[in-house]
Every structure is written in structure tokens, then in C-alpha cells.
Amino acid sequence: MARISDLLQRGPTFSFEFFPPRTDEEKDRLSQTIQDLEPLHPSFVSVTYRGGRSSRERTTAVVTDIIRSRAITAMPHLVCVAHSRGELEEIVGGFIEAGVENLLALGGDPVAEEGPGELKHAAELVELARALGGSSIGVAAHPAGHPRSPDRESDRRHLAAKLALADFGITQFFFHVEDYLRLREELADLGLSKPVIPGIMPILSLASVKRMSELAGYQVPADVVDRLGPLEDDPQEFRRVGIELAGELCRQLLEAGAPGLHFYTLNFSKATLEIYRSLELRAQWGGPRAGRAEHGRQGGHPPSERETIA
């Protein structure tokens, strides 16, 4: 399995996020989505984690299945909430023993049916994973600031401290390239130059993306709402414009030197495939990514904030 930190040093990465299925129907859909996207030779995929034993088991099952059955680098999410330090040591140690070299360390949101957890912040989880031998560790970044941060300035200080311990970051989704450029500039002002991969969420349902944005403490920009709102009664045109907006954002990010693109697929493949083809990424990036060579809301239930990098 390739280390994401190594892949980022070689050039732009192209990756997907999945969430663990809860039902047999969702399991079949995820399997088909992975099958549809595997020919794109993603640099890596990530698998979300809500917190608590049942979510942990589902995430672990998806990651281990991908590693065993497909030539894809898979990175599990792990959160501080609902776990003691001992449990986290067991989980991280189990992943490392299984050959998982990449981990996305997150603070996480409270889980109603579980305790608050012994570690309070993702930085502590990064330190724990590093002490256990973790060699490629990512963290989350919020272009608009974390919803629990009192202001953007303090958010950037905490993010910079977290990134200093980790190897790379992945952002929550956003809709304007200026949000990413401002984040990168503010981190640079704090002395941080580690790669931060922008997260991309194609808007296929305005109500759904508004709901997820609010959970993440981020409002969908007014100009995006103005563009898509009048099209809600025309699903085909709404979808076309939503994918067009995402594709344009991707182009702007690549032109600005972003280290890659990370797509929140919601366990569907079609929108990501359309954006990939519109960007002609295979031609631009020279075919299959190194990770493959070396190691060989449309429907359903959208993930809550607890099941994203937020």
C-alpha cells in the first residue's frame, strides 16, 4: 500500500471518500460504485467513521475489503470521540498490523449513545498514532473555519498546530476557489506549507447540500443558491449545472497549484465520473497514479457531519 504523504510529493492526487454501508442495499451500491471508479486508478480512497463500536466495525470492514480485493490504497477515518486512549491504541495498532499505512485523524462530534472519549482534539490523536508507528497521517481543514472555533484566526492557529504534527490535510467541501486560496495563504503566514487537498462536493440537491453545510457550520454561498435555485423544478438541468460548477472549481484549483482533488462521492459514481471526464484528468496527469502502480445527494442516506472529515 502506498503512503499518501509519498504520493503527494510526486504530484497531484485524485481521490474519493466513501461511507460505510448500513444495509445490504447500501453495501451492494458501494461495491458497484467502487467497481465503477476503480478504472480511474485513484491515488487513494478514504472511508468515514462516526464513532462508537458499530461504526468502527463497518469502517474497518470496508477498508480491509478494499485492501484485500482491490489494488487501491485505502485510508480509514478515526475520531477521538467515544473512545478511551486504550481503545484508540488498540484500533490504530490493529490498522498498522494489518498493513494500513494511512490514517485520517479527526476530533469528531459527540455520539449520543457513547461517552465523550478520553482525547479531546485531533492533534492528540495524531501524536498517539505517530507514537504507535503511524507514518502517513492526515487531518481535516475547514476553509470557513471549524464550527466550534470562535473565529477564523484562532481556527487557523489550531489548524496550523495540528498540521505541524501531521503529514497532510483534506478540507471540508466548499464552492469558491477563493476560500481555498485564503486558507492556504493564512496557513503560509503561520509557517505551514504542508499539502492541503481540497474536498469537492458536486451539488446534486440544493436542500441536501444546504443541510450538510449547516452541520459543518458553513453556508452555501448566495451566488450558488441564486444559480441553482431556479432550476430545482428541472432536475436534469440542475444536475448539469451542479456538475458544471464543480468541474469549474476543480479547474481553478488545479490551475492554482492545489495538490490534488478529493471527491465526496456519497457512495455514487456517476457525478464523479462526469467531472473526471470533463477535466480530462488522465491526459493531464499521465494516466494511472503511482499508488496503483506501486501496490499494484442522488439518493440513499447522505452522511451526516459525523461521517465526513468534519
**Contact between 47 and 77 (Cβ < 8 Å):** yes
Q: Which of 17, 124, 186, 307 is catalytic?
A: 17
Opening angle at CA 8, ends 255 and 141, nearest 5:
75
118-to-82, 88, 103, 128 alpha-carbon distances in Å: 8, 9, 19, 12
The DSSP symbol for 40 reads: G
**Contact between 100 and 73 (Cβ < 8 Å):** no
Q: Is 1 exposed, middle or buried (0-12, 13-18, 19+ CB in 10 A)?
A: buried
What number of CA atoms fall less than 13 Å from residue 113's CA on the CB side? 6
- List 100's β-bridge partners, or say none: none
Q: Is residue 17 among the annotated active site residues?
A: yes
Instruction: Indicate which residues carry an active-site annotation.
Output: 17
